[in-house]
Amino acid sequence: MVIREYPEEIEKCFEIFEPYSIQLSQGKLEDVPQEAIDAYNKAKKWAWEQGQ
């Protein structure tokens, strides 16, 4: 399956966590707002459900 466009809800998640993406991928969460962590987890869960 190829997704050409993400759902609006997932796009918003990307916008929220993108500034913290390096810290999130490295597991350095001490300076990352909870909202960004939640958005990252939501987008990650959605991607897994899509098989990506």
pLDDT of residue 51: 81
Nearest to 40 by CA among 15, 19, 13, 4: 13
Between the alpha carbon of residue 52 and those of residues 4, 28, 29, 49, the distances in Å are 13, 24, 24, 8
pLDDT at 5: 87
Question: 13 and 39 in contact (C-beta within 8 Å)?
Answer: yes
Domain-by-domain residue ranges, the chain?
8-50
Predicted pLDDT at 3: 61
For 7-51, what is each residue's pLDDT tens digit? 999 999 999 999 999 999 899 999 999 999 999 999 999 999 988
DSSP the chain: ---SS--HHHHHHHHHHGGGHHHHHHT--TTS-HHHHHHHHHHHHHHHHHT-
